[in-house]
Amino acid sequence: MPASPSTARAINDRSALGLLQDRGPLTAGQLKQLTGLSRPTVADLVERLGAAGLITVVGESGAARRGPNARLYGIAADRAHLAALDVRTEGVAVLVADLVGRVLAEASVPIEGDTGTGPAVQRVVAAVAGAVGRAGAERLHTVGIGAPGLIDPATGDLRDSAGLPAWHRSLSAALQERLPGARVTVENETNLAALAEQREGAARDRDTFVLLWLGHGTGAAVVLDGTLRRGASGGTGEIGFLPVPGTPTLPSATDCSGGFHTLAGAAAVVSLGAEHGLPTPATTDGPGAAGLVRESVERVLAAGRSAGAGRAEHGPGDRSAVAAGEHEPGDRSAGAAAGEPVATRGADAGHPVGRKPRPVAEGRPVVGGGAWEEIPAAGEPVVARGAGADAGTTVGREASEGGPQEALGGEEPPAVGEPTGREPATAADPAGTAAGADERFLSALADRIAIGAASVVAVLDPGCVVLGGEIGHAGGDVLAGLVAQRLRRMSPLPTEVRAGALGGSAVLRGALLTARDRAQDTLWSDPSRSPVPS
């Protein structure tokens, strides 16, 4: 049955508005070409959307050609203002943006642990009001809030969760009371991070993936066939409660201690760094743990660059390996897109080795020295060869000067950090020894993360795991590659592991994207009824 005239107009309007949102300002002629609509129909919808205050003339096009210039139409950015909040245990981050998502004002509110519910809520509400004023907005149309904990599917409110401040649950109602007419919505923080990574970050090319949140706490977001899955009670992805080996106790219904959180939460990461003799941050929150991981990765990469420079002085015959995760100049694996093959060449540059290249997405960021080396197939030991006794140390594996050293009895080579009886002398390779503690730390951290990731992969088979949050972002390709190596040993299901691109800012960005989507859905549902702002 053909659509009614009003339905057809609504479809055409939404199509035009979507194009203007995605592509920026367009002329009427460009809208005609992109929508396939007739010139009179496009002229009609441009007039209608302009009268509703949803689009406006933002410039002219065609100054280089003869004749009158064509008007450029764009979304009326000031048609509505939005707010996004990232609610954490220790405070709240706030931003205010216009309808196209351009950030106009920001604020940050620290909340001490002994602050009562009333004062905490008042501080946050005052910060939001202040940001609205600085943005030059008269009122807010939609507010998106990202918070830890479970969201009740029936009410859309935060459920009472042990370990989380009581003021979290009061914030939504307080904002709704202070901002009459605004639509206030709450979503789990990890779900918002997954939305942001899918729209603007590491998962833009995936419609099925799992985001593993690694920050102050741990969590997971599940996106299957392009749809975010929340579960019957809103608890999909509460991986912090997952019982795992390596913890002294089991989690309970009210306490995730003993679960995956105990292995991979920020406090556990900082403690792990201290066990390996690394300088630890003053705070054990997400940013503090992320700084520890980032500095370890940087030292490992710097040691690899230093070793590479030393090898260059000895000529191309020296094939000692770089530190784990390091890439030689020109090696495309350092920035290759997921699934893009990594070129492999033997000692004689330009002559292919006899093995099929493996994609960097499979997580082997270990590359050879003076000439590029082939990437070992799954199941083969990853080794490094060098002139110094410690030059062969690589994350998760060991090697000697003479080449690969197989594990005795066919066993898996010991993980870095485990005593082997063949530890190198400190004086043999000062640069390698300096990075040894960092390598062992990153290897142990990857072991822990892989336990949680493997559990998710075994149940969901997502094909892709994104290491999100501050810690996942800080670990970058090095940590993602180490986790991928372990997943290949633990699971028969092929799984790509990627580092999150947005880090801790993903929650705030996801809250803004959600607020923008909901505001546009409301305003664009029937432009003829959309009141023009006074």
pLDDT, tens digit, 9 for 90 and up, residues 233-271:
888 999 999 999 988 899 988 888 899 999 999 999 999
Both tokens assigned to 323: 């530190």
Band of the pLDDT at 50, cuts 50, 70, 90?
Answer: very high
| 337 vs 200 pLDDT, higher one | 200
Res. 339: pLDDT tops 60 = no
Band of the pLDDT at 364, cuts 50, 70, 90?
Answer: very low
Band of the pLDDT at 363, cuts 50, 70, 90?
Answer: very low
Res. 87: pLDDT tops 90 = yes
Query: Three-class SS string for 229-298?
Result: ECCCCCCCCCHHHCECCCCCCCCECCECCCEHHHHHCHHHHHHHHHHCCCCCCCCCCHHHHHHHHHHHHH
Res. 291: pLDDT tops 60 = yes
Q: What is the DSSP letter of 480?
A: H
Q: Please report the pLDDT score of residue 69 as a whole number.
A: 74
How far is it, in rounded angstroms, from Cα 9 to Cα 171?
A: 39
Res. 349: pLDDT tops 90 = no
Band of the pLDDT at 67, cuts 50, 70, 90?
Answer: low
Res. 330: pLDDT tops 50 = no
pLDDT, tens digit, 9 for 90 and up, residues 28-48:
999 999 999 999 999 999 999
Res. 303: pLDDT tops 60 = yes
Give percent of the chain above pLDDT 70. 73
pLDDT, tens digit, 9 for 90 and up, residues 424-433:
333 334 444 5
Q: What is the mean predicted confidence (pLDDT) over 339-346?
A: 36
Q: What is the DSSP letter of 145?
A: E
Res. 318: pLDDT tops 50 = no
Task: Give the range among 127-141, 321-335, 458-472 with minimum mean pLDDT.
Answer: 321-335
Q: Please report the pLDDT score of residue 305 as a whole number.
A: 83
How far is it, in rounded angstroms, from Cα 302 to Cα 280?
A: 19
How far is it, in rounded angstroms, from Cα 207 to Cα 397?
A: 34
Q: Which residue has the tokens 């880090």?
A: 503
Q: What is the DSSP letter of 78?
A: G
Res. 154: pLDDT tops 60 = yes
Res. 229: pLDDT tops 80 = yes
Q: What is the mean predicted confidence (pLDDT) over 204-222?
A: 96
Band of the pLDDT at 434, cuts 50, 70, 90?
Answer: low
Q: What is the mean predicted confidence (pLDDT) over 431-440?
A: 75
pLDDT, tens digit, 9 for 90 and up, residues 174-198:
999 999 889 999 999 999 999 999 9
Task: Give the range among 157-161, 264-268, 285-289, 345-349 with minimum mean pLDDT.
Answer: 345-349
Band of the pLDDT at 221, cuts 50, 70, 90?
Answer: very high
Q: Please report the pLDDT score of residue 62 as a whole number.
A: 64
pLDDT, tens digit, 9 for 90 and up, residues 395-418:
333 333 333 333 333 344 444 444
Q: Please report the pLDDT score of residue 66 as a whole number.
A: 57
Both tokens assigned to 230: 């929340």
Question: Hey, which of 63-72, 172-181, 212-221, 343-352 has the most confident mean pLDDT?
Answer: 212-221
How far is it, in rounded angstroms, from Cα 281 to Cα 289?
A: 7
Both tokens assigned to 397: 């594996």
Res. 383: pLDDT tops 60 = no
Res. 114: pLDDT tops 50 = yes
**pTM of the predicted structure, to 2 decimals:** 0.75
Both tokens assigned to 318: 């020296």
| 163 vs 487 pLDDT, higher one | 487
Q: Which residue has the tokens 């060449």?
A: 345
Strand partners, 125: none
Q: Please report the pLDDT score of residue 158 as a whole number.
A: 82
Give percent of the chain above pLDDT 90. 53
Band of the pLDDT at 486, cuts 50, 70, 90?
Answer: very high
Band of the pLDDT at 162, cuts 50, 70, 90?
Answer: low
Band of the pLDDT at 5, cuts 50, 70, 90?
Answer: confident
Res. 384: pLDDT tops 80 = no
* Mean pLDDT of all residues belonging to the chain: 78
Query: What's the first-to-final CA gap in the chain, in angstroms?
Result: 40
Residue 495 and residue 502 in contact, taking contact as beta carbons nearer than 8 Å: no
